[in-house]
Structure 1
Amino acid sequence: MNNDKRNAWRCPVCRVTPQSPQVCEEPALTLTDLYDELKTSRTSIESKIDGVEQQVIDLNNKWSSLESRLAGMEERISTTEDKMETLSTLPSQIKDLQEQVACLKKENNERDQFGRQNNLEITGVPSRSGENLRTILNNICTKVGFVLDQSDIDCIHRIRVFSTEAKHQNLRPPSIIVRFTRRVRRDELLAAARARRGLTTADAGLDGPSTNIYLNEHLTPANKMLLKRAREVKSELNYSYVWVKEGKIFVRKNDTSRVIRIVSESDLLKLK
């Protein structure tokens, strides 16, 4: 451009007074300085990148640990669910086991009672040192009019008193158990004793105060408890009869009502 056009692009001051070129007081960066600065920046960036990489590694490790813990929790939850499912079936299993135990107890009691079918139990006879049980039995048989043969008796003994019953020993002497060789002979003696009624220790040839003695079928402990409960229910409900025949317990409301066999406690509950 010519001078006129160049002056048109200047400010008013420069148009009047020509300006001298401006000189930079600070020297420009050299390539070496620029390289060093870039190198420093690179080192800093690389350091930051290394820190980020380490953080990523730490995060991965934490995530792996978390995944492992979650897997363990899932396994425990699965195990707990299996146990809960098993527990949910426990009531029915317990009920089945209780029924099986009750059935086994019933069968065992029936076998035990069958093994006592030839036995006679005599209660109320005081125990004395040097006593002769056969003589006592012979005296009872003579009193009720029963002819006892020596071949009728297999064995005769007192019931063993266990430690749990020792405190009651002074109140109730141990029973005498007579095992007959034939059940029919036992039944005949029982019938004769029941017809006679009112047997006492004096009838058995025993000295001292006269007390009642009783002849009964030899029941198992379970059947004795059941008979005791049947007698209690008899009093509560005004039943007329409770008796034992061949190891079985029966009740009857009156002479015209039906005979009911009592096998378990539930049978007594049905009477109420």
Structure 2
Amino acid sequence: MPKTRGEIKKNNLLSCAACPKFIEDNVYLKCIYCFKHFHNLCVGIASSDKSTGSTINTWECPDCKVARKRGGDNFNTPLRGATAAYSPPTISDSAQNVTMRRREMSPQSSLTSTDIRNIIREELELVQNSLIDKFKHIVRDMVKEEIHSFESTIEATEKAIAFLNDEYDTIKKNLDMHLQNLSEIRKEYQSMVDTTRDITARLQTIEQHSRSKNVEIQCVPEHKNENLFTIVLQLAKTVSCDIKEAEIHVCTRVAKMDLKSGRPRSIIVKLATPRLRDNFLAKIIKFNKANSNEKINTSHIGIAGKTPVFVTEHLSPLNKKIHAAARLKAKEKSYKFVWIKQGKIFMRKTDTSPYIYIRDMSSLQNLE
């Protein structure tokens, strides 16, 4: 609650309850009922009166006297207004109980600007302290509420993190198990790849070996009433190779590997023995070397024109692809020779360089 004027202090100085000034000379009166402090002159007592002073403990203020005579309780009624003050006359102790008529204060007794500023400053400090206390309570309540909400959020987050940790452990355990299974599957896969590669190589060898008696005649024009046996015998006679008709077991044309190719279908000839096949191929090579200006062509087998005719070993489909890729690689890397022997493809860069066995497509990638 706000302080009364008699309780306001300035630098530990008491304030007079009758006027707005402070008691500075330590000469004052204190009422035994309302405990207010008064200047001697403000209550009509001369300051030179020796009977007055702070040691008097039987004095009562005029307002308390009036209140007691009326039988009422009006001890809290101030003796003078906050802004009203007067200069009481000097009287003796015998006139203490005489009711003095108030009169207007002189202009000299009005409040100074310093006093007003001090009073305003004190009031503002009181208001400021009250507002600060209220603000502290409001902020404290808000902080408590926010902390409670934050604690709830943290608790929910901790539960979520714990759940995620459990899920992570489960996932990690499953992942480790799957990785182990995957490693085993990779080993099995690699083993199957190696086995498949080995089986493929064996099948390729078997397939090529089944063609060990065969020769392939390419670029022979097709005719409706052609006799392939006669063509083969005429070709053998041209290169001076003694082949009888009984030694030709099979003679037929085969389908094209590339349907868009304009070349005629090849003729596959199966002879009696691999040795006869090799002898026939050797005679072909010898004839072409001896007649470099006029190698084997359609005129040598009784067909008009001089279209070149090629006689090679009968290769398996895979070896044909490797042979075609080897020829392209030879042009790219400037290799001079590409040939086939016993179903195998070889390459040589110069006349004196060592030959290279082309086992598969990867062998071509390693060529320099």
Given the two structures, how large is their TM-score scaled by the length of structure 2?
0.49
Superposition RMSD in Å: 2.6
TM-superposition CA deviations, 1:53-72 (whole Å, max 9, x none): xxxxxxxxxxxxxxxxxx99
**Cα separation, 2, equivalents of 1:92 and 1:233:** 35
Greater mean deviation of Cα atoms: 150-159 or 96-105: 96-105
Q: Is 1:248 matched with 2:341? A: no
Structure label with greater radius of gyration = 2
Structure 1: runs of 5 or more not aligned: 1-70
Give the residue type in structure 1 aligned to 2:306.
S
Match of 1:200 among 289, 297, 306: 297
**Residues 82 and 152 of structure 1, relative CA distance in 2, 3 Å threshold:** same
Say if 2:251 and 2:268, in contact at 8 Å, map to a contact too.
yes
The alignment of Structure 1 onto Structure 2 pairs a total of residues equal to 199
**Cα separation, 2, equivalents of 1:84 and 1:199:** 63
* Equivalent residue, structure 2, for 1:121: 216
Match of 1:167 among 230, 241, 260: 260
Give the residue type in structure 1 aligned to 2:298.
T
* Equivalent residue, structure 2, for 1:238: 334
* Equivalent residue, structure 2, for 1:37: none
Q: Is 1:263 matched with 2:356? A: no
TM-superposition CA deviations, 1:20-52 (whole Å, max 9, x none): xxxxxxxxxxxxxxxxxxxxxxxxxxxxxxxxx
Match of 1:132 among 224, 227, 230: 227
Q: Tell me the CA shift for residue 77 of structure 1.
A: 7.0
Give the residue type in structure 2 aligned to 1:176.
I
Give the residue type in structure 2 aligned to 1:182.
T
**Cα separation, 1, equivalents of 2:272 and 2:242:** 15
Secondary structure, aligned partner of 1:223: helix
Q: Tell me the CA shift for residue 84 of structure 1.
A: 3.4
Q: Tell me the CA shift for residue 158 of structure 1.
A: 0.9
Say if 2:256 and 2:266, in contact at 8 Å, map to a contact too.
no
Give the residue type in structure 2 aligned to 1:183.
P
Q: Is 1:186 matched with 2:277? A: yes
**Residues 221 and 151 of structure 1, relative CA distance in 2, 3 Å threshold:** same
Greater mean deviation of Cα atoms: 79-88 or 224-233: 79-88
* Equivalent residue, structure 2, for 1:102: 197
Q: Tell me the CA shift for residue 222 of structure 1.
A: 0.8
**Cα separation, 2, equivalents of 1:246 and 1:255:** 21
Greater mean deviation of Cα atoms: 213-222 or 151-160: 151-160
Secondary structure, aligned partner of 1:86: helix
Q: Tell me the CA shift for residue 240 of structure 1.
A: 2.1
Give the residue type in structure 2 aligned to 1:202.
S
TM-superposition CA deviations, 1:239-261 (whole Å, max 9, x none): 22211111111112223222221
Percent of aligned pairs with the same amino acid: 29
Compare relative contact order (CA 8 Å, sep 6+) and give the higher one, 1 or 2: 1
Give the residue type in structure 2 aligned to 1:250.
F
Give the residue type in structure 1 aligned to 2:347.
V
Q: Tell me the CA shift for residue 215 of structure 1.
A: 0.4
**Cα separation, 1, equivalents of 2:220 and 2:316:** 20
**Cα separation, 1, equivalents of 2:299 and 2:263:** 17
Q: Is 1:177 matched with 2:261? A: no
**Cα separation, 1, equivalents of 2:354 and 2:225:** 48
**Cα separation, 2, equivalents of 1:177 and 1:92:** 43
Q: Tell me the CA shift for residue 224 of structure 1.
A: 1.0
Match of 1:213 among 297, 306, 309: 309
Pick the structure with more helix per residue.
Answer: 1
**Cα separation, 2, equivalents of 1:246 and 1:237:** 25
**Cα separation, 1, equivalents of 2:196 and 2:252:** 32
Secondary structure, aligned partner of 1:261: strand
